[in-house]
Structure 1
Amino acid sequence: MTMRITSANAFESTIANLQQRQTDVSDAQNRLTAGKRVVKASDDPVAAARAERALAAMVRSEANQRALEASRNVMQQAESALGDAGELLQQARELVVQGGNGSYDSANRKTLAEALRGLRSQLLGVSNRGDGAGGYVFAGQGSDSPPFVDTPSGVVFRGAGGQIAAPSDEPLALSVDGQQAWLGAPDPSGSGTVSVFGSLDNIIAKLEDPTLDSTQVSTAVKDGLSDLDAVMNNVGAVRAAAGETLNRTDMVEGRIAESKLAAQTERSNAEDLDMVQAISDFQTKQTGYDVALKTYSLVQRQSLFQYISA
């Protein structure tokens, strides 16, 4: 009876050893296939937690990158649009200067006024430029329709003043405050503000008025140039701010890239395999499994008869 129990125990022990060796080989093979030291959290809970935190940081970096690209797109469009506006305003200024020519009569000034009205129309189009995503570059905090509307009393802003901030760890804008850009230039007189369109409307009305004498025309031209200079300086300042934002996105992009790389490295350090060591471990476990398999074969061939004969 004692011999039977011993033989049975040896057989069970061999089976258990064989199963464990087989499991070890399978686990090592899975790690090699995945290229990961930590395939599941139970392999190394501390390393798995490190890898999870690193993955979260990578996801956050990718979200920040998407927000940055959206901000860059809007700022590029705003900078370009404000550049166009600056050129149109410069053309308008040159026409107003011509209006001060003492040899011009009312017909000449009316022709200049018509040309200014054409530039005004182009500027209105620029102010309502779309952002390519269903919105408007100068809508401020958003608008479902063109933010600038031409009314009998002049152009009014129907958007929402201010800016939208990107959902990012970095302070990036997703819009431009159109009201400030187009209607918010400091009045040269020191009170209130003057708008791009209001300054043009005023000088157009003066140039079209046939009752004005040369002195009045000269005063109107002087005031018109003063207003145009104010709105041009304001448009230029907003354009410069958009350019600064674009410059900042380049620096922010570098920080995002560094953060993502650091997170990738941390994740790799936490869970990736040392392939040389892993192959060596696999070979060792495979050898152990082969030995266990041979031992099982020997034990399986044992019988009570063979044991008694011995």
Structure 2
Amino acid sequence: MQVSTRLFYDRASAAMGALSAQADTLQTQIATGKKLAVASDDSVAYARLRGVAQASADAKASGTNLDLAASVLAQADSTLTAMTAQLQQASELAIQARSGTQDKVSLGALADGIDAIRDQLADLGNAVDPRGLPLFGGGDGGAAVTANADGSYSYAATSPSAIPVGGGQSVQPSDTAHRVFTSAAGDALAMLTRLSAALRAGTDVDAAAASAVGDLATATTQVSTVQASLGARAAHVELAQAALTRANTDREATRSGLEDTDVTAAITQLQKTMTVLSATQASFTKLQGLSLFDYLK
């Protein structure tokens, strides 16, 4: 009889303890919104969560770099558009110079306009990107366009720093000033300097302006070619951003399935557990109060 009584108490205590522990766990899951607190809760799921967390961290870095690449490419595109507008304006001034009706004062004004366009183009070439690096300069951070003492210009010929975007890939977000400003017609800024000098001299203006119109058309085509190349890279970056967004969505769904509490299901399970626990406690209390005389009645 002593053994039976002890077993009765032990079993009842173990059952109520297990139910209480289960209720505590469910309450914690509901309060925190997390199913897993420690690795022992589910070692397989915990290991998968660590992998998901690492992948998320890598994706965040890739996303930041893709956003940077997109920003630099957009800036390069708008800068090249501005350059094209300046070259077209220079071509219009060259055409005006060929009219044959310009006097020396007018030609001087046109030359001033050409000089202003040349200087504006040089300034555009020396723009800096969001990283503080020359937009069309080399990876060493040196100036993209340098005016030399003799009036000529030097251009950065090494590519700007590439931006890593994950998976061992990188994106070249711009191009060199050398490729932007030089073409089959030669150096665009030097060409403008020659045109300005010819207009100020007032000799053989028609020939100089005619040559400049053709050369400026070639220079404009070169800028457009560079812009098209950057546009293709921008499209690649957009595709990579879209793919990353989809991967992030799928990964978040996986993480949520492994880690997040289904609150509705947890509350339902908690209510069931509390009902069973209450019934077990009530039964234990009732049986505990019975005596031998109760059995003999």
Give the TM-score normalised by the residue count of structure 1: 0.80
Any idea what the Cα deviations from partners look like across 1:21-59, whole Å, max 9, x if unmatched?
211111122222333444433222233333333333333
Aligned length: 293
Q: Is the 8 A contact 2:180 2:226 kept in 1?
A: no
Distance across 2 between alignment mates of 1:32 and 1:278: 7
Structure 1 residue aligned with 2:55, among 54, 57, 60?
A: 57
CA 1:137–1:31: 2 relative to 1, 3 Å: same
Q: Which residue does 1:286 correspond to in 2?
A: 274
Distance 1:269 1:59 in 2: 19
Q: Distance in 2 between matches of 1:40 and 1:291?
A: 31
1:13, CA displacement in angstroms? Answer: 3.6
Corresponding residue number in structure 1 for 2:28:
30
For residue 176 of structure 1, give the secondary structure of its aligned residue in structure 2. Answer: coil
1:88 and 2:80 correspond? no
Assess if the C-alpha contact under 8 Å between 1:142 and 1:160 holds in 2: no
Unaligned regions of 5+ residues in structure 1, if any? 189-193
- 1:222 partner amino acid: A
- Find out whether 1:166 has 2:163 as its counterpart: yes
Measured after TM superposition, the shift of residue 162 of structure 1 is 0.9
Contact persistence 1:38–1:44 (CA under 8 A): yes
| Distance in structure 1 (CA, Å) of the matches to 2:265 and 2:100 | 92
Contact 1:14–1:295 (8 Å) recurs in 2: no
CA distances 1:142-178 after superposition (whole Å, capped 9, x unpaired): 51x6432222132223x57213332213756364123
- The correspondence for 1:11, drawn from 5, 9, 12, is 9
Aligned letter for 2:195? I
Cα distance, 1:231 vs. partner?
Answer: 1.6
The residue type paired with residue 171 of structure 2 is A
1:125 pairs, out of 123, 126, 131, with 123
Q: TM-score, normalised by structure 2?
A: 0.83
Structure 1 residues 172 and 76: CA distance shift in structure 2, 3 A: farther
Aligned 8 A contact 1:140 1:177 in 2: no
- Distance in 2 (CA, whole Å) between partners of 1:301 and 1:142 is 88
List aligned pairs for 1:130-169, cutoff 5 A: 130-141=128-139, 143=141, 146-153=143-150, 154-157=152-155, 161-169=158-166
Residue number in structure 2 paired with 1:269: 257
Cα deviation, residue 9, structure 1? 4.2
Q: Do the aligned partners of residues 160 and 21 (structure 1) sit closer, same or farther apart at CA in structure 2, a change above 3 Å counting?
A: farther
Which amino acid is the alignment partner of residue 22 of structure 1?
S
RMSD between aligned residues? 3.0
Report the Cα distance in structure 2 between the residues aligned to 1:43 and 1:73, rounded to whole angstroms.
44
* Letter aligned with residue 226 of structure 1: G
Asked if the contact 1:55–1:263 (Cα under 8 Å) also holds between the matched residues in 2, the reply is: no
How far apart are the structure 1 equivalents of 2:223 and 2:244? Answer: 31
Q: Quick check: 1:140–1:164 contact (8 Å CA) kept in 2?
A: yes
1:249 aligns with 2:237: yes
**Contact 2:165–2:171 (8 Å) recurs in 1:** no
Asked whether the 8 Å contact 1:163–1:173 carries over to 2, the reply is no
Q: 1:268 to 1:132 in 2, by over 3 A?
A: closer
Structure 2: runs of 5 or more not aligned = none
8 Å CA contact 2:175, 2:226 repeated in 1: no
* CA distances 1:255-291 after superposition (whole Å, capped 9, x unpaired): 1221111111222233344444333322222223223
Q: Residues 117, 280 of structure 1: CA spacing in aligned structure 2 closer, same or farther, 3 A cutoff?
A: same
Q: What secondary structure, in the 3-state scheme, does the structure 2 residue paired with 1:255 have?
A: helix
Q: Separation in 1 of the partners of 2:157 and 2:51?
A: 39
SS in 1 for 2:146: strand
Structure 1 position 224, deviation (Å): 2.2
